[in-house]
Structure 1
Amino acid sequence: MSSTAHAAPAQFPAPSAITELLKPVTWFPPMWAFSCGVIASGVPLAGHWMLIVVGVLLSGPLVCATSQAVNDWFDRHVDAINEPHRPIPSGRMPGRWGLYVAVIWTLLSLAVATLLGPWGFGAAVVGLLLAWAYSAPPLRLKRNGWWGCLACGICYEGLAWVTGGVVMAGGAAPAAASLLLAALYSGGAHGIMTLNDFKAIEGDRQMGIGSLPVRLGVQGAARVACLFMALPQGVVIGLLLHWGQPLHAAAVAALLVGQGLMMRRFLRDPVRQALWYSGFGVPLFVSGMMVSAFALRGLAGAPA
């Protein structure tokens, strides 16, 4: 066999490259938010386990994974600067396979979404549209950090939460309290999404991506991210007290205090500490989401 044959590029990506493209580590937030919506619905879990499993899979390994593949394809030139080891710029995802995977996962997500009824299917369609709008031209919402983070926050947290409630209620709209908490935590997720942009400042600046660290500077973006994460939780604490759930309010407050202490370290050096805060501060944020969901379950009179 000639040396030319040995040097020929691979025609198909390795399974490991596809897995890396779909970024399993990012699937947790929407899966968690869907579960929060399930809990907040107040509907007994018995008899709904198949819907719950399908919804969790749709939220994470399908719709969220699709968004990651779409983003990597349309960000391949930015990643060549910021993260050249990623599957596409490194060549481990040859040709246009990054785009093919994004399309295949979109169609697979739509097929699975049909199992959740018309409302579940509609939510999946909205989530997929946001995923493509965030990364793909002509909209490419990520070019503006304000709109891009908002789209991600809605898709990852609010939409997934509402979908969980809708699926459990057989298509009925969730209670107003659940919708309000979903909206508040979507706003908080805006700040979480900003954390991801601190690692990509140089490439974003060169490629014209107006992330908040590029638009506002490192310190300005860090302060805005902290405000977006903290203020909605403060409102949640007030609402839980108003709804007669003081123990749940106290738990969310304690989690917020823990985040505040970590934010001080993050603000001292946002570029270096953004990943650290994502790993240790964000889990406190999402824990508060579940505490709030159980508070609503208690209001509905359902067993915890």
Structure 2
Amino acid sequence: MQVSGRSPRVEPLLRGVGGNGRPSLSAVAELLKPVTWFPPMWAFACGVVASGVPLSGHWGLLLLGILLAGPMVCATSQAINDWFDRHVDAINEPHRPIPSGRMPGRWGLAIAWLWTGLSLAVATALGPWGFGAAVLGLLLAWAYSAPPLRLKRNGWWGNAACGLSYEGLAWLTGAAVMAGGVMPDLRSIALALLYSLGAHGIMTLNDFKAIEGDRRMGIGSLPVRLGVQGAARMAAATMLLPQAVVIGLLLRWQTPWHAAGVGALLVGQMLMMRRFLADPRAQALWYSGFGVPLFVSGMMVSAFALRGLAAGGAG
């Protein structure tokens, strides 16, 4: 149900949003959420590995790409989201910098625009592929949170935008930048898209803690749309099935040891999911901390499979 206006609980929690003064550095750091930077940085590194290009002589590109993926583009997306979610956060997370008043006035929006510009400036050093990927990633970030699109109002579209940006786009950018701007091969594209699809389920894990505010403010996250159990089962299937396809592809590409590695990590996730599915709201954070690392480890195993295939082809 779409909620018009603001809840009476929201207004007091937004005190200070229209105030004066400057935010502290700690509030700025909290706004940019460093803990969220890891997924796109890791995916970029996976693309670098999958490219098969030796790292010697390319360390600068690797470090610059990781900087762009995490502290720049991902951090920008967090600032954008916090600004346009400030009324929802006043219900779900009133301690966040903007609803708590520690980020006064329109500083949140100003930082979002500043980091957008800085990200584009850094991206120019990565050539056309890196710059184009940054533009696309930033467009997705603004489309996810900001009107008129505000993709997060629909959990299907919003999670797809995040999964594509955090995993697939970062992976393909790493592969292309390392290869001098050459389009990654179809195997790399296939894995990047499959792990993007899996990340759709990971994004749903973040929504279980925000059901109350999302429902009241008209955000159609999957837990709101499908119910807690329905969203949990959908998230589990969305995380598991793409990895099963990855295993099949690795076997087809004659990399059985890498397929076995991803398979072992998949079994570990399935065992943990039993606890998650038993109580999704209470265990979503636990699964994010212990199950998701197995998912991303499989990404790197798959990337090394492609690296081995590239080396074999070169030989």
Normalised to the residue count of structure 2, the TM-score between the two structures is 0.93
Letter of the structure 2 residue corresponding to residue 102 of structure 1: A
Give the Cα–Cα distance (whole angstroms) in 1 for the partners of residues 271 and 74 of structure 2: 30
Give the Cα–Cα distance (whole angstroms) in 2 for the partners of residues 177 and 228 of structure 1: 20
Deviation string, structure 1 residues 219-255 (Cα, Å, up to 9, x no partner): 0000000000000000000000000100000000000
Deviation string, structure 1 residues 141-173 (Cα, Å, up to 9, x no partner): 000000000000000000000000010011100
Runs of 4+ in 1 over 6 A off after TM superposition: none
Please, which of 128, 140, 145 is the counterpart of residue 118 of structure 1? Answer: 128
Letter of the structure 2 residue corresponding to residue 150 of structure 1: A
**Could you say which residue in structure 2 is the equivalent of 1:130?**
140
**Could you say which residue in structure 2 is the equivalent of 1:289?**
299
Letter of the structure 1 residue corresponding to residue 196 of structure 2: S
**Could you say which residue in structure 1 is the equivalent of 2:12?**
none
**Could you say which residue in structure 2 is the equivalent of 1:166?**
176
1:269 deviates by 0.4
**Could you say which residue in structure 2 is the equivalent of 1:241?**
251
**Could you say which residue in structure 1 is the equivalent of 2:201?**
191
Deviation string, structure 1 residues 103-141 (Cα, Å, up to 9, x no partner): 000000000000000111000000000000000000000
Are 1:261 and 2:271 counterparts? yes
Are 1:46 and 2:61 counterparts? no
1:292 deviates by 0.1
Give the Cα–Cα distance (whole angstroms) in 2 for the partners of residues 118 and 243 of structure 1: 31
Give the Cα–Cα distance (whole angstroms) in 1 for the partners of residues 132 and 256 of structure 2: 36
**Could you say which residue in structure 2 is the equivalent of 1:216?**
226
1:284 deviates by 0.2
Give the Cα–Cα distance (whole angstroms) in 1 for the partners of residues 96 and 286 of structure 2: 21
Q: 5+ residue gaps in structure 2?
A: 1-18
Letter of the structure 2 residue corresponding to residue 295 of structure 1: A
Partner secondary structure for residue 108 of structure 1: helix
Are 1:17 and 2:30 counterparts? no
Give the Cα–Cα distance (whole angstroms) in 2 for the partners of residues 243 and 122 of structure 1: 30
Letter of the structure 2 residue corresponding to residue 266 of structure 1: F
Give the Cα–Cα distance (whole angstroms) in 2 for the partners of residues 230 and 44 of structure 1: 31
**Could you say which residue in structure 2 is the equivalent of 1:205?**
215
Deviation string, structure 1 residues 81-109 (Cα, Å, up to 9, x no partner): 00000000000000000000100000000
**Could you say which residue in structure 2 is the equivalent of 1:62?**
72
Letter of the structure 1 residue corresponding to residue 308 of structure 2: G
Give the Cα–Cα distance (whole angstroms) in 1 for the partners of residues 279 and 296 of structure 2: 23
Q: 5+ residue gaps in structure 1?
A: 1-8
Please, which of 25, 38, 46 is the counterpart of residue 36 of structure 1? Answer: 46
Aligned ranges 1:265-276 → 2 under 5 Å = 265-276=275-286
Give the Cα–Cα distance (whole angstroms) in 2 for the partners of residues 262 and 139 of structure 1: 35
Matched length: 295
Give the Cα–Cα distance (whole angstroms) in 2 for the partners of residues 249 and 161 of structure 1: 19
**Could you say which residue in structure 1 is the equivalent of 2:4?**
none
Are 1:228 and 2:232 counterparts? no
Normalised to the residue count of structure 1, the TM-score between the two structures is 0.96
Are 1:175 and 2:195 counterparts? no
Give the Cα–Cα distance (whole angstroms) in 1 for the partners of residues 268 and 258 of structure 2: 16
Are 1:100 and 2:101 counterparts? no
Q: Contact (CA 8 Å) 2:20, 2:105: kept in 1 or not?
A: no
Give the Cα–Cα distance (whole angstroms) in 2 for the partners of residues 10 and 107 of structure 1: 24
Are 1:147 and 2:165 counterparts? no
Give the Cα–Cα distance (whole angstroms) in 2 for the partners of residues 100 and 264 of structure 1: 43
Give the Cα–Cα distance (whole angstroms) in 2 for the partners of residues 243 and 118 of structure 1: 31
Identity %: 79
Letter of the structure 2 residue corresponding to residue 112 of structure 1: V
